[in-house]
Amino acid sequence: MNVKTHQRLLLTGAAGGLGQALRTRLKANCEILRLSDRVDPGQAAAHEECVIADLADADAVNAMVQGVDAIVHMGGVSVEGAFAPILQANILGVFNLYEAARKNGVKRVVFASSNHVTGFYRQCETITTDRPARPDGLYGVSKAFGEDLSRFYFDRYGIETACVRIGSSFAEPRDRRMLATWLSFDDLHRLISACLSTPVLGHTIIFGMSDNSATWWDNAQARHVGYVAKDSSDTFREAVFARTAAPDLSDPAVQFQGGAFVRTGPFE
């Protein structure tokens, strides 16, 4: 059951794929949902506010955060690529966000981290959230930076953060790798709702995954959040196997948890 825990909730990256999936769902968590992106997220509904802001613009981010009670930060670059845009959106941008939270007294953030923070662990391993980061690219490095920065802002300023290492959040798994990493849109919302409503969040890292039989991640250390997945990639297993070839075990994308991200680049 969702509880309207906040008066005004900020969703960044509202025009992106996951932002759009969360937009209708997060109205259950607040009275007013403020939507932000660097592009127009579309016409606001009666319970919504829309703000256009570039995460690299500190003044715009500060204005975006004013008056909100909590932040669901989905904004930024979400794929591997050249360093310059990742630097602006995911490194400078997340610093601007936490500085704005500090200045405006916001004490809880749900930060969209990524499984690519640990992408160079092997698919034959099961890891916990206290294992060292092993990013599989510049995107993963930027998310590892965000996790470290959020830890600093918790230790020094008391801003609680859930770093959600999102696996593969789509309507359904697209390939065999996603049978282990899949996170349904509804489970994503359940996870964010749990992070927003748990009485004491602290600084918590949690893997964003549904209740998949095959998994590389152990979420036992985040049980205090209260997240219980209700969907599973198992529903799609037979169809995924039928339409995909057997994996090539010599392919790094099959060997490592990061999949194809481990072999992208170099970048100009």
Domains of the chain plus CATH, in order, are: 6-263 (3.40.50.720)
Q: Which pLDDT does position 7 carry in this prediction?
A: 95
Q: Which pLDDT does position 203 carry in this prediction?
A: 98
Taking the CA atoms of residue 230, residue 210, residue 195 and residue 13 in that order, the dihedral angle to the nearest 10 degrees is -120
Q: Which pLDDT does position 233 carry in this prediction?
A: 98
Name the stretches of the chain with pLDDT < 70: 1, 266-268
Tokens for 188, please give them: 């994503």
Q: Residues 6 or more apart from 121 whose CB is under 8 A from it?
A: 127, 131, 134, 216, 256, 257
Q: Which pLDDT does position 4 carry in this prediction?
A: 87
Residue 206 CA: distances (Å) to CA of 55, 163, 203, 225, 268? 24, 6, 10, 9, 33
Q: Which pLDDT does position 209 carry in this prediction?
A: 98
Tokens for 248, please give them: 């090539």
Q: Residues 6 or more apart from 146 whose CB is under 8 A from it?
A: 90, 91, 94, 111, 113, 163
Q: Which pLDDT does position 266 carry in this prediction?
A: 64
- Cα–Cα distance for residue pair 231/4, rounded to 1 Å: 23
Q: Which pLDDT does position 267 carry in this prediction?
A: 64
What are the backbone angles phi and psi of residue 167, rounded to the nearest 5°? -80, -105
In DSSP notation, the chain reads: -----EEEEEEESTTSHHHHHHHHHGGGGEEEEEEEESS------TTEEEEE--TT-HHHHHHHHTT-SEEEE--S--S---HHHHIIIIIIHHHHHHHHHHHHT--EEEEEEEGGGGTTSBTT--EETTSPP--SSHHHHHHHHHHHHHHHHHHHH--EEEEEEE-B-SSS--SSTHHHHB--HHHHHHHHHHHHH-S---EEEEEE--S-SS-SEE-GGGGGG-------GGGGHHHHHHHSPPP-TTSHHHHBTTGGGGG-----
- Which one-letter amino acid corresponds to residue 233? S
Q: Tell how far CA 218 is from the center of its chain.
A: 17
Q: Which of 98, 121, 139, 227 is catalytic?
A: 139
Catalytic annotation on 139?
yes
